[in-house]
Structures are given as structure tokens and as C-alpha cells.
Amino acid sequence: MYVAVVDDQDASLAGFAQILKRISDIDAVCFKKAADALHWLGGVEPAFVVANNTLSDIAGIDFIRRLRLVPGRESTPIIFTTGKAGDRDLRRAAFDLNVRAYLEKPINPSEFLVHAMHIVDMSRERADIQNRLKEASRRAEHIQSATASGDDGALIDTMLDVASLHDPTIVAHHNLVANLSQILGRDANLTGEEMSVLHDAARIYDIGKVAIPQRILEAKGPLSVADRAIVERHCDVGTRLLAGRETPVLRAATVIAQTHHERYDGTGYPRKLRGSSIPILGRVVAVADTLVALLRPRADRPALSLAQAMEAITKASGGAFDPVVVNAMRSGLSDISRFVHEAQQELNKQAS
């Protein structure tokens, strides 16, 4: 990224350029004349501009006014410098033109560097968000194409691609839940066809998590009442995203999205269903989802071992979870252990 430095003194230009070398991937482009800087800025979008109040041709404050008239430069970040100490009118005029910082000479290099790095970090974050939005838009087009073609697998893959822009862990979580759900479904006496649908549907059941802000996903302490309400809405969000697609897999995914946080004792959400009024697919995925979640570290707790996670779920049998599905979990320990081990190996491979 480029930074335009506009100042009438060679020593100042050299000093700013030297400080800016301490920021990676930043090149300083120096000008003494406002006219030269404006011409260059008309074709290049800088990370920010350093503008001194005295230039070779016009006053720095007039340079900023003209810069704000250049298309695309209306909000370019500017660090304004001046040798006029205590000039309140100049300070007011500068901030009226939306400068990010107002520094009086002699410049403190550390203070200047802090402002510069903050602006660069914000610019990089904004560029990253824009790239993510472009990528999400591109992938959304693929979702429409997959929907039109009736290809469940392609649609699920594409929706997960988009969701992973918000939560990079969602694909690995869903894949392991899908595998464990199939084991639980088998030992809970689901038919082969039901288990096949369950496996595919469980790859997309928690898509509503895209509606949970990152700050909540990464929260280190108990959630406020307002944040808890936001979390609980993700079931309805997932239901809306999946509803209306009339294939067995996506109908099942819609059911799971709506019911995987219901509790067997009727204290869950969003509808407080109880016992067998909770669809069996929701009861199965509730156990698989919790098991996988307990195996992953969170900001507020370390990961549990498989034995610890299964013990915690067993203690909640008849409360949070269907006793039949909990018994199926215990019966399927060998296969569950194998899938958990394979998932951990895959995570370790990706990390290395």
C-alpha cells in the first residue's frame, strides 16, 4: 500500500518516509507541491495521506479541501501536521475536513507511528471485509445455481463455504456431527434410508450460526440476556435459510435446524418441545452436536476428553437428552472413538 506524504521541507519528507519503513508493505510517495500530489492521488488510492499545513504552492488545509473533491477520496484518511502550535482555528478547520490526526511539529515519531499503524490496520481490515463480501457474493451465485439444479450436495457444500467465511470451524464441526449422528441413529434403530438422510442433513443443520456475531462466538464469560437471545435465534435463522427446498435431505435439515436445541425435559429452545414431541432427528443431533462441542476448546473452557464428554451427556440423560439416544451413544463408543480420532488427525494435519 502507498502513503502520500505532502510537505514543503525535504527533512520532513525524509523523516516521515523513514518512520513509515517500519510498517510492512508500505511505500511512501513524497511531494512538495499540492498540485503534484493531487494529480497522483487522482489515479492511486493510498492507505492514507500525510499533509503538512505549509506546501510549496498552497496551504495544506486548502490541499485537503481539494482532495475531498477528488472522486473516491472523500474519506481518505489524513494525518495533518503543522508548525503552528496552539492554532485552534486551524485545528477546527482540519477536523471539519475529517482528518484522522492533528499533530504539531516537532513530530513525536512514536505518536506518528501509532496513528499510522492504526490507520493501516483499519485499511487492511476494510480490504479484507470487502474481499470476503465479494467472495460471499460469488458463492451465493453458486448457491442459486445449485438450488436450480436440485443438487443437494452442491447446495450444502456451497452454503457451508459461505458460512465458513464467518465461522471457519463450521465445516469440521458439521462433518463430525454428521458421522456421529449416523452411529447414534443406527443404535437408536433408525432405518438405513433414515440414517442416510440424517447423515447428509446433519452436514448443514447449524447454518443459522452465521447470524451469531463473532464477539459472541468468542465470548470468554457468561452471556448477557440480550446476547443469549441472539444465540437462541440462530435456530429460526437456520430454519428460514433451509425451508422451502423440497428434497428429503433438506426437509430433514430444516427439522434439525429447528429442533437440535430442544431439551427432552421441555426446557430447551426455541419452542420448548418435550420428549417424543421433539422429532427423532433433532434428538439424535442434539447429542452429537453437544458431544462434538464438548470435545472442542472454547474461550471459556478447555476441551474435554471423549470420556469426560460422554460422562457429561450421560448425566443429562432424561433431562437435556433422550435416554434412548444416550444409550445409543454408549453402545457406539468404538465407532465414535474412531471418528473422533480421525477428525483430530485431520485438524492436526491442517494445523501443520
- The answer to whether residues 308 and 268 belong to one domain is yes
What's the chain's average pLDDT? 88
Are residues 224 and 112 both part of a single domain? no
Residues 6+ apart with CB under 8 A from 74: 68
DSSP states of 174-197 as a string?
HHHHHHHHHHHHHHTT--HHHHHH
CATH of the domain at 106: 3.40.50.2300
Angle between helices 323-331 and 170-187 (to 10 degrees): 100
| Same structural domain, 299 and 200 | yes
Question: How far is residue 307 CA from its own chain's centroid?
Answer: 31
DSSP structural state of residue 43 = T
Does the structure show a pLDDT above 60 at 82? yes
- What letter would DSSP give residue 167? -
Q: Both 100 and 221 in a single domain?
A: no
pLDDT at 211: 83
254 near 285, Cβ under 8 Å? no
Mean pLDDT value of segment 65-82: 93
pLDDT score of 271: 93
Q: What CATH number has the domain bearing residue 301?
A: 1.10.3210.10
- Residue 187: give the domain boundaries: 150-351
The answer to whether residues 175 and 343 touch, using CB atoms and an 8 Å cutoff, is yes
Give the per-residue pLDDT at 138.
61
Query: Over the stretch 185-234, which tens digit does the pLDDT of each residue have?
Result: 998 888 888 999 999 999 999 988 888 887 888 777 788 888 899 899 99
| pLDDT score, position 215 | 80
pLDDT at 114: 92
Neighbouring residues of 233: CB distance < 8 A, sequence distance ≥ 6? 208, 211, 270
Task: State percent of the chain over pLDDT 70.
Answer: 92
DSSP calls for 64-124: HHHHTTSTT-TT--EEEEES-TT-HHHHHHHHHTT-SEEEESSP-HHHHHHHHHHHHHHHH
pLDDT category at 312 given cuts 50, 70, 90 is very high
* pLDDT at residue 132 tops 70: no
Domain count, the chain: 2
Q: Is the pTM of this model over 0.85?
A: no
* pLDDT (0 to 100) of residue 154: 72
Taking residues 281-290, report their average pLDDT: 96
Residue 129 domain-assigned (yes or no): no
For 305-325, what is the mean pLDDT? 96
Same domain, 100 and 160: no
The pLDDT assigned to 243 comes to 82
So what's the pLDDT on residue 161? 78
Residues in contact with 307: Cβ distance below 8 Å, sequence separation at least 6, in sequence order = none
Mean pLDDT of 60-84: 93
Last residue of a domain, one of 123, 138, 173: 123
What pLDDT sits at residue 347? 76
Lowest mean pLDDT among 44-53, 293-302, 312-321: 293-302
Domain match, 267 and 171 both: yes
Asked if pLDDT for residue 143 goes beyond 60, the answer is no
pLDDT confidence of residue 60: 94
Nearest 5°: the CA angle 246, 249, 252 is 90
Phi, psi of 208 (to 5 degrees): -65, -10
Question: 313 and 191, same structural domain?
Answer: yes
Asked if residue 210 and residue 310 are part of one domain, the reply reads yes
Instruction: Examine residue 140 and state whether it is found in any structural domain, yes or no.
Output: no
**Nearest Cα residue to 249 out of 173, 194, 182:** 194
* Residue 278 pLDDT: 96
